[in-house]
Amino acid sequence: MVVSQLFYTSSFLGLLAATLLGSGAQAQTISLPNSQLQISQAPTNQELRPLAQNNNLLSIAGAQGLMQEAKTALSAQNYPLAIQRLQQAREVLSQLSGFYQELSASFSGIDPRISDAQRQQAIAAAQLRDEATYQLALVHRADNKPELSVPLLVQIVRSQNPTRDLGKRAYQQLFELGFVDSPFPRSGDTSAPAAPAAPAPPPR
C-alpha cells in the first residue's frame, strides 16, 4: 500500500513538472555530486579586498597612474589634459593622506603598530601629492600662466619645509618667476637648519 502511494505520488509530480516545462518537455532525472549542487562559491581574496587592487583609483598606485597620464599628455603639449590629470591626482592623494591620518589618530594609544603604519601611509600620500602639485605648477608655467603656479608653489614650501629638496625647488621656482626677491639658500650660507626626516601631512 505504501509503495503504491509513493508510485502514484512520484508519477503525479513527474506529470506536473512536464506540464510546467511545456507540452513537449520530458522530465529527466539528473544525478549530481553534492559539490556540484553548490551554486554560490566563496569569494576570492580579490573580491574580499577590492580596494587593494592595482586598478583602484583611491590608492597611491591609482594616483601614480594619473600622474603618468599627465606626463604623456605634457609630452604631446596637451596642457589641458595634463592639468586635469594632475588635479585629479592631487585630489586623490589629499583624500588618502587625510584618511590615513585620521586612522592613525584613531589607533593612537590603542595599537601603536596600526597607528604607525597608517601614519607612514599618510606621509607617503602627502609626499606624492606635493610632487603632483609641483608638476602642476610647472605645467602652468609652461602654459604661460605663471600666476596659477604661485599658490601651488607656496603650498609646497609650507608643506615640505624650505630646507627639503622639493621645498627648495618650489622656492627656486618662486624666485625665478619674480614672486620673491631673496634666493635660498644664499651663496655660502650654511646656517639653514636640517630638514626633518619626513614631511607631516598638512591640516585638511
Spans of all domains in the chain: 55-177
C-alpha cell belonging to residue 21: 516545462
Contact 100, 119 (CB under 8 A): yes
Closest CA to 198 of 101, 105, 103, 127: 127
pLDDT value of position 57: 84
With a cut of 50, list the residues of the chain below it in pLDDT. 1-40, 195-198, 203-204
Contact 194, 174 (CB under 8 A): no
pLDDT value of position 5: 46
pLDDT value of position 25: 42
C-alpha cell belonging to residue 185: 639658500
Indicate the pTM of the whole model: 0.70
